[in-house]
Amino acid sequence: MMRSRLWLAVACLLATMGSAVAQKQGGTLRVTHRDNPPSASVLEEATISTLMPFMAVFNNLVVFDPATRENRLDRVVPDLATSWALTDDDRTLTFQLRDGVKWHDGKPFTSADVKCTFDMLSGKVASKMRKNPHKTWWFNVKDIATDGDNKVVFHLTDPQPSIMALFAAGFSPIYPCHVPAAEMRTHPIGTGPFKFVEFKQNESIKLVRNPDYWKPGRPYLDAIEYTIIPNRATMLLAMATGKFDLTFTSDLTPELMKSLQEQAPETQCVLQPTGTQGNLLVNRERPPFDNEQIRRAMVLSIDRKAFSDILSRGIFDVGGVDLPPPEGRWGWSKEFMETVPGYGADVEKSRDEGRRIMKSLGYGPDNMLPLKVSTRNIPDYRDAAVILIDHLKSVYIQAELEPLDSSVWYARLARKDFSVGMNIQGISIDDPDATFFENYLCGSERNYTSYCNADLEKKFHEQSQMKDLDARRKLVWDIDKTLQMDAARPVVFHAKAATCWWPRVHGINIAMNTIYNHWRFEDVWLDQ
């Protein structure tokens, strides 16, 4: 008995040692990239095209534990901050910063860099950033103060437990104060595990190992090379022949994933929520859509399961604003969803109700309401818009597709120059503080439909201040239900797609509830 225990202990020890020494140093990770990133500045963009390749250049104050698959508040771990503390009133948050960290250009990292980053992000100081897409995240930051080089203090207007999730988001890296914003767009400087080498427009991005990285022994890779391959068929063939180690995140539809695994059965793929959701935009300022009843009838015409079946063979999720479980933390349960009008299993019953509403307004099979459904002229948007047009017919709405060039789409949304639109948007963090404030706050730039509900806005703030997760979730579900019933921006589907890699790549840990994180590659190594 004693001997078998000894053997077991030795075996465990060897296994542990084996895994500890198994990681190999060196090699270049070759990754495909779907398109040309608009710039290299993570803070100025809201697209994964920028975040995935450039996240490895930076560090955050804190991160979601990269070893776990779920990005959640109780899994926030130190990064540039070694510890943090809240005062009793939950309004003062102090971060103790890591000592001896250097920027890639050799200058020391200090608390001034943290202050300057968040002053810029919260709009407290004028900056040379061209855009600030996540400004609404920092609505609660009153001011930021430094206490020596290694301590920074955030004063909050109200308690906000979720602010730690925002600090841990991929889009919240710390920028160096001494580097101009224009330079960060073309030649980013960070403290991260990889240094920027070059970004050739429409061609490639190259990062190399930071030998002075503050985390001992990391990163394992010598370099990461992204090759921009806009053509999906070429990318698939290149991946299948082993020219690349890893695909761009969520670049493969379920069909493409199947095709790749048929051609290269050794490849490993993870199908995950992309963080993008399809939603219906109704311009509530433009008649007749200022009529709440018409908006309601439109919502009742939607068969969400049909969207999922047609677009993804039933893989896309159905839910409200927040990502549905099991991947999402804040989305409705199946039982709760059944109670939301338009989400029930009996679509025909909802459509009967929609037709009744439209008839009461004078519309019918012989007098259909004509409208244009505007959307971006790219396949993902167009396909969804065509399905929507078909569904609208069921409530006496005769819609026509208006495909718009990408250059015109957001300009039209900003001018509110549309009646009905089919939109697909990214939600970069699975937390209501990001989703509600970014998309439904009165006056937010991303609130395309100008939805403004003062009572609900109070509830946005209320949920944001709640510590009790279960109570917060209950309130979040109710807010989400109200948003869907008000047709603020009815959510039609939550998309899913796959990321694939060859077995020689180790240490990839894809988050299950976001694609906008876990791309620092410091634990990734190549077995070759």
Partner 1 sequence: MLDYILRRLALMVLTLFGASVAIFLLLRIVPGNIADILFDSAGMIDPAEKQQIIKDLGLDLPLVEQYARWIGGLAHGDLGYSYVSEKPVLDEILPRIPITARLAGLALLFAVCTGVPFGVISAVRQNSWLDYILRVFSLLFLSMPSFWLGLLVLMAFVNWFGILPIYDKAPPTWGAFALMLGVPAATVGLRSSALIMRLTRSSMLEVLRQDYVRTARSKGLSEGAVTFVHALRNAVLPVITTIGIETAFLFGGLIVTETVFNIPGVARFLVEAIRWRDYPMVQNLVMFIAVIVVMVNLIVDIAYMFVDPRIRLRA
* Helix, strand, coil share of the chain (percent; to 5): 35, 20, 45
Give residues 221-260 in contact with partner 1 (rule: CB under 8 A): 227, 229-231, 233-234, 237-238, 240-241, 243
Q: Does 521 bind partner 1 (CB under 8 A)?
A: no
Separation CA 117–CA 44 (nearest Å): 12
Beta carbons of 479 and 232 less than 8 angstroms apart: no
User: Binder to partner 1 among 446, 459, 461, 506 (CB under 8 A)?
Assistant: 446
User: Binder to partner 1 among 260, 281, 392, 413 (CB under 8 A)?
Assistant: 413
Q: Does 435 bind partner 1 (CB under 8 A)?
A: no
Stretch that binds partner 1, among 16-24, 34-42, 105-113, 333-341 (CB under 8 A): 34-42
Separation CA 213–CA 217 (nearest Å): 8
User: Binder to partner 1 among 201, 335, 454, 467 (CB under 8 A)?
Assistant: 201
Beta carbons of 283 and 289 less than 8 angstroms apart: yes
Stretch that binds partner 1, among 4-12, 36-44, 65-73, 326-334 (CB under 8 A): 36-44
Q: Does 19 bind partner 1 (CB under 8 A)?
A: no
CB-based burial, 403-428: b 16+ in 10 Å, e otherwise: ebeeeebeeebeeeebbbbbbbbbbb
Three-state secondary structure readout of 237-267: HHHHCCCCCECCCCCECHHHHHHHHHHCCCC
Separation CA 229–CA 206 (nearest Å): 15
Tokens of 505: 């790549």
- In total, the chain counts a number of residues equal to 528
Q: Which residue, 68 or 259, has its beta carbon nearer to partner 1?
A: 259
Q: Does 334 bind partner 1 (CB under 8 A)?
A: no
Stretch that binds partner 1, among 37-45, 98-106, 458-466, 516-524 (CB under 8 A): 37-45
Q: Does 130 bind partner 1 (CB under 8 A)?
A: yes
Q: Does 450 bind partner 1 (CB under 8 A)?
A: no
Rounded to 5°, the CA angle 266-271-276 comes to: 145
Q: Does 403 bind partner 1 (CB under 8 A)?
A: no
Q: Does 46 bind partner 1 (CB under 8 A)?
A: yes
Tokens of 158: 């109200």
> Taking the complex as a whole, how short is the minimal distance between the CB of residue 421 and partner 1, in angstroms?
13
**What DSSP character marks residue 364?**
B
> Taking the complex as a whole, how short is the minimal distance between the CB of residue 321 and partner 1, in angstroms?
15
> Taking the complex as a whole, how short is the minimal distance between the CB of residue 377 and partner 1, in angstroms?
11
**CA-wise closest residue to 499 among 244, 321, 153, 310:** 244
**What DSSP character marks residue 145?**
E
User: Binder to partner 1 among 157, 293, 406, 450 (CB under 8 A)?
Assistant: 406
Q: Does 410 bind partner 1 (CB under 8 A)?
A: yes
Distance of CA 8 to the CA centre of its chain: 44
Beta carbons of 414 and 421 less than 8 angstroms apart: no
Maximum Cα–Cα distance across the chain? 87
Q: Does 50 bind partner 1 (CB under 8 A)?
A: yes
Are β-strands 420-426 and 223-228 bridged in parallel, bridged antiparallel, or unpaired?
unpaired
Q: Does 414 bind partner 1 (CB under 8 A)?
A: yes
Amino acid type, 488: A
Stretch that binds partner 1, among 31-39, 497-505, 509-517, 518-526 (CB under 8 A): 31-39
Q: Does 6 bind partner 1 (CB under 8 A)?
A: no
Q: Does 274 bind partner 1 (CB under 8 A)?
A: no
Please give the residue ranges that form the binding site for partner 1 (CB under 8 A).
36-39, 44-47, 49-50, 130-133, 182, 185-186, 199-204, 227, 229-231, 233-234, 237-238, 240-241, 243, 405-411, 413-414, 425-426, 445-446
